[in-house]
């Protein structure tokens, strides 16, 4: 997004309609027509071969047209904030287009079809898949029960240009097998897996994980740990900001996250913690995400130099030529006064003009900006 605008074009006004001209005359009032030519260099222009017809018709140029169109003129601005005048001489553009806007706080609780989740189980029952289970089990609970949970959100409901400030995942603990205190860590998974195929031994139901002992492939460095989980039911939150940022940026493949009890590979018995999965019947207790993000919302301000009419005047129309891509906007306001520089005697800023060509209509003022 690089909005740019220039103020004013060379203009001529006719006092009656029905005038032949190239470009065509546009009626802008009951007794007024307008044709506008735009030149890169007004000094190379001469006005010839104008023909007007009809009784009482007269033709007049608009004397005193004033405005800024060149880099040198824009450079005389009273003040600029985040404006680039040099990148495209004659235009006033936003300099830094990556300024952050107001943060958006997204709370998202995926449906079963929006979230892939299952848990890996080693122990009784064989090499079973639990992708359709309403539970996510985590923890080592003595030989032979050992559980880890897998969760993957395939798509994140944030804009493509979002910068994630903070991302959390919350799981609801509804039951525990023992009172043992567990620290549960979340890790980045490094091998793709199938929700309805993954087991302790295999990532897709038939092909083994790279890890010789099974139990999923993951970065051994945990992303976050929640300590002291005993048998208190309720929500537990993990900070997964770095994971979500990495996935959105494409730094690594989104193979989801794995939850395990810290020390489970050392066979430390910390009990079995039972969380609800996305397939739980109670939709309000399924895994949920909170993602705080910002998107670029850059602004620039140009307070132009004052334009001196040289005497009492009535300001007519204000025109501008702006490139305004989708999602961007431009606001033009004016103020008037009779002193050589803007001071407290000047009017307040006007409301924004709705479109180019609006009548300013301020009389008895000699200067404007």
Q: What is the 3-state secondary structure (H, E, C) of 233-255?
A: CEEEEEECHHHHHHHHHCCCCCC
Q: Is 72 exposed, middle or buried (0-12, 13-18, 19+ CB in 10 A)?
A: exposed
CB-nearer residue toward Ca ion: 33 or 131: 131
Q: Among 117, 135, 180, 202, which residue sits at the site for Ca ion (rule: CB under 5 A)?
A: 117
Nearer to Ca ion, 285 or 332 (CB): 285
Residue 359's alpha-carbon distances to 71, 135, 333, 356, in angstroms, are 26, 67, 12, 9
User: What's the closest the beta carbon of residue 288 comes to Ca ion, in angstroms?
Assistant: 15
Smallest distance, Å, CB 195 to Ca ion? 5
Residue number of the CB closest to Ca ion reads 117
Q: Pick the stretch among 123-131, 235-243, 253-261, 350-358 that binds Ca ion (CB under 5 A).
A: 123-131
User: What is the total count of residues that contact Ca ion (CB under 5 A)?
Assistant: 3
CA 52 to chain CA mean position, Å: 53
Q: Is 178 exposed, middle or buried (0-12, 13-18, 19+ CB in 10 A)?
A: middle
- Would you give the distance in Å from CA 226 to the centre of its chain? 31
Restricted to residues 40-59, the positions that interact with Ca ion (CB under 5 A) are: none
Q: Which stretch binds Ca ion (CB under 5 A): 9-17, 73-81, 125-133, 171-179?
A: 125-133
Measured from the CB atom, the residue of 133 and 239 that comes closer to Ca ion is 133
Q: Which of 325, 300, 301 is nearest to 97 (CA)?
A: 300
CB 277, min distance to Ca ion, A: 5
User: Whole-number minimum distance, CB 131 to Ca ion, in Å?
Assistant: 5
Closest separation in Å from C-beta 303 to Ca ion = 58
Interface segment toward Ca ion; rule CB under 5 A; list 69-77, 240-248, 272-280, 339-347:
272-280
| Residue with Cβ nearer Ca ion (278 or 365) | 278
Task: Give yes or no for a contact between 289 and 283, defined as CB atoms under 8 angstroms apart.
Answer: no
Q: Give the shortest CB-133-to-Ca ion separation in angstroms.
A: 7
| Residue 42 three-state SS | helix
Build a one-symbol-per-residue string for 296-335: x at contacts with Ca ion by CB under 5 A, - elsewhere: ----------------------------------------
Among 73, 255, 264, 279, binds Ca ion (CB under 5 A): 279
Query: Closest separation between CB of residue 198 and Ca ion, Å?
Result: 10
Closest approach of Ca ion to the CB of residue 125, in Å: 17
Nearer to Ca ion, 202 or 279 (CB): 279
Rounded least distance, CB 130 to Ca ion, Å: 8
Cβ(151)–Cβ(286) below 8 Å: no
Query: How far is residue 30 CA from its own chain's centroid?
Result: 45
Query: Rounded to an integer, what distance in angstroms lies between the CA atom of residue 216 and that of residue 193?
Result: 9
Nearest residue (CB) to Ca ion, 135 versus 224:
135
Query: Which residues have CB under 8 Å from 49's CB, separation 6+?
Result: none
End-to-end CA distance of the chain: 26
Burial environment of residue 46 by CB neighbours within 10 A (0 to 12, 13 to 18, 19 or more): exposed
Segment 126 to 165, residues that bind Ca ion, using CB under 5 A: 131
Nearer to Ca ion, 6 or 131 (CB): 131
Q: Which stretch binds Ca ion (CB under 5 A): 95-103, 199-207, 276-284, 297-305?
A: 276-284
Nearest Cα to Cα of residue 339 among 368, 361, 313: 368
* Residues that bind Ca ion in the complex, under the rule CB under 5 A: 117, 131, 279
């Amino acid at each position: 997004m690089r909005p740019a605008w220039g103020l004013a074009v060379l203009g001529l006004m006719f006092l009656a309609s029905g005038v032949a001209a190239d470009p065509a005359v546009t009626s802008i009032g009951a007794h007024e027509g307008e044709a506008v030519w735009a030149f890169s260099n007004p000094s190379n222009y001469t006005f010839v071969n104008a023909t007007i017809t009809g009784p009482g018709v007269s033709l007049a140029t608009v004397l005193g047209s004033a405005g800024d169109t060149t880099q040198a003129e824009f450079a005389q601005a009273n003040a600029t904030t985040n404006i680039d005048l040099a990148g495209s001489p004659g235009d006033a553009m936003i300099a830094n287009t990556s300024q952050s806007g107001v943060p958006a706080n997204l709370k998202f609780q995926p449906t079963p079809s929006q979230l892939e989740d299952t848990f890996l189980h080693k122990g009784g029952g064989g090499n079973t898949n639990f992708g359709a289970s309403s539970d996510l089990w985590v923890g080592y609970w003595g030989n032979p029960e050992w559980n880890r949970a897998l969760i993957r959100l395939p798509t994140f409901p944030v804009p493509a240009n979002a910068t994630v400030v903070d991302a959390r995942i919350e799981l609801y603990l509804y039951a525990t097998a023992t009172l043992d205190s567990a620290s549960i860590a979340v890790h980045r998974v490094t091998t793709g897996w199938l929700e309805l195929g993954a087991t302790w031994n295999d990532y897709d139901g038939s092909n083994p994980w790279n890890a010789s002992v099974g139990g999923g492939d993951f970065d051994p460095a945990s992303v976050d740990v929640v300590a002291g989980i005993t048998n208190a039911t309720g929500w537990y939150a993990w900070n997964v900001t770095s994971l979500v940022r990495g996935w959105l940026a494409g730094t690594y493949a989104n193979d989801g996250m794995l939850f395990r009890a810290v020390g489970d590979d050392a066979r430390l018995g910390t009990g079995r913690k039972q969380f609800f999965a996305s397939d739980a019947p109670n939709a309000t207790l399924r895994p949920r995400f909170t993602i705080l993000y910002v998107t670029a919302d850059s602004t620039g301000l140009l307070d132009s130099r004052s334009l001196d009419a040289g005497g009492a005047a009535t300001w007519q129309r204000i025109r501008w030529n702006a490139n305004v891509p989708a999602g961007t906007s431009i606001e033009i306001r004016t103020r008037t006064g009779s002193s050589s520089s803007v001071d407290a005697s000047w009017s307040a800023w006007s409301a924004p003009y709705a479109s180019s060509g609006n009548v300013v209509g301020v009389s008895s003022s000699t200067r404007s900006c």
